[in-house]
Amino acid sequence: MTKKLPRVVAVHDVSGYGKCALTVAMPVLSACGVEVCPLPTALLSTNTLFDGFTFFDFTPHMETYIAHWKKLGLKFDCVYSGFLGSEEQINYVARLIREFDSGIAVIDPVMGDNGIVIKTYTPEMCRSMIDLVAIADCATPNITEACLLTGREYAGAELSSEESRAICEDIIALGTKTVVLTGVQRGKKLYNCGIDQKGYFECEIDLLPYHQHGTGDVFTSVMVGGLMRGFDLRQSVDSAARFVYDAMEYGYDIEDIFDRGVAFEPLAWKLGSGLYQK
C-alpha cells in the first residue's frame, strides 16, 4: 500500500535573519511530517524590522516558476500563503488555488498588526486580499487584519466573546469556509477564536508579558501541520497556541532572542505526530 506524505505549497518571503515566513514555515511543517514546496515572494537579508535590509523582489520569476510546476503536473494538499507584497502576488496565490489540485487553501492575510497597516499595502491590495479570503478554506487574520477585511474600526486587542464571534461571522460572510481570529486579549488571557463546521469556538491560553517576532508564522504553520496530518481545526489551533507559548517561554533567556525571533527549534521534535506533544 502506498504511503501518503502531505504536500504543502508555502507562498512566503525568505529573510536570511530574523525568523519569519519561509524560514519558519519550512522547518515547522517538516517537523510535523509534511512536505513543503516553497514559492518565495521575495528574498531579504533580514526581516523588515532591521534597518538597511536588502530586498530582492521575486515577482518577475513567479510566472515561470508556477508554469514549470504545472507542466510537471504537481498536485498539492494545501496552498498556504502569508505576507504578499503586491496585488500581482495575491493574484498568483488565487491562481494556485484555482488551477492546481490544491486540497485546501489556508490564507494568513498579513496586512498589519496593533491597528497599524503595513506601509506597502494599498487599498487595491486590501480589496484583492478580500477576494483571496473569499476562496479560502481557512483564513487566519489578527484583529487588525480582520478589521481591514470587514471595514470595521480597530479598537484594540481586548474583545469580548460576543465581539469576537461577530468579527468571525463577518469574515465567514466574505466566503471563507472557516476562520481563526488570532490575538484576542481578555485580561491576562490570550484567545484564538474561530468558526468551523461545528460553530463558534475559543482556545484560551495564558498571555505572556513580552513579544517575540515570528509567532504568527509559527502559529499558522503548526496549525497547517495539524490539518495536514488529519486533525480538525480546533485540535490544530490548540496545538499551535500551546507550541507558540512554550517556545516563547523556553527561548526567553536565549542570547539575542528578541532579534532572532521565537526559538521554536528546540521544541520542533515534539510536533512529529502533527500535534504538539508537551
- According to the model, what pLDDT value does residue 1 have? 79
Cβ contacts of residue 203 below 8 Å, gap of 6+? 191, 192, 193, 194, 234, 237, 238, 241
Q: Is 57 helix (H, G, I), strand (E, B) or coil?
A: strand
Per-residue b or e along 210-226, where b marks 16 or more CB atoms closer than 10 Å to that residue's CB: eebbbbbbbbbbbbbbb
> What does the alpha-carbon distance between residue 104 and residue 201 come to, in Å, rounded to a whole number?
21
pLDDT at 187: 95
Q: How far apart are CA 137 and CA 96, in angstroms?
A: 14
Give the integer Cα–Cα distance in Å for 220 and 104.
14
Reported in sequence order, the residue ranges of the chain that DSSP labels E, i.e. its strands, are 7-15, 35-44, 55-57, 78-81, 104-107, 112-113, 116-117, 138-139, 178-186, 189-196, 199-206
Distance between CA 95 and CA 180 in Å, rounded? Answer: 23
CA 197 to chain centroid, in Å, comes to 20
Task: Provide the 3-class DSSP secondary structure of residue 272.
Answer: coil
For 60, counting Cβ atoms within 10 Å of its Cβ (0-12 exposed, 13-18 middle, 19+ buried), the class is: exposed
pTM, entire model: 0.97
Q: Which positions ≥6 away from 172 have C-beta within 8 Å?
A: 178, 179, 195
pLDDT of residue 117: 92
Residue ranges per domain, the chain? 7-255
What residues does 196 pair with on adjacent strands? 199
Local confidence pLDDT in tens for the 278 residues of the chain: 788 899 999 999 999 999 999 999 999 999 999 999 999 999 999 998 899 999 999 999 999 999 999 999 999 999 999 999 899 999 999 999 999 877 999 999 999 999 999 888 899 999 999 999 999 999 999 999 999 999 999 999 999 999 999 999 999 999 999 999 999 999 999 999 999 999 999 999 999 999 999 999 999 999 999 999 999 999 999 999 999 999 999 999 999 999 999 999 999 999 999 999 98
Residue that the C-alpha cell 514546496 belongs to: 37
Distance CA 67, CA 78 (A): 18
pLDDT score at 48: 86
Task: Give the pLDDT confidence score for residue 258 in this predicted structure.
Answer: 94
Pick the closest to residue 223 from 152, 163, 276 (CA basis): 276
For domain 7-255, give the CATH superfamily.
Ribokinase (3.40.1190.20)
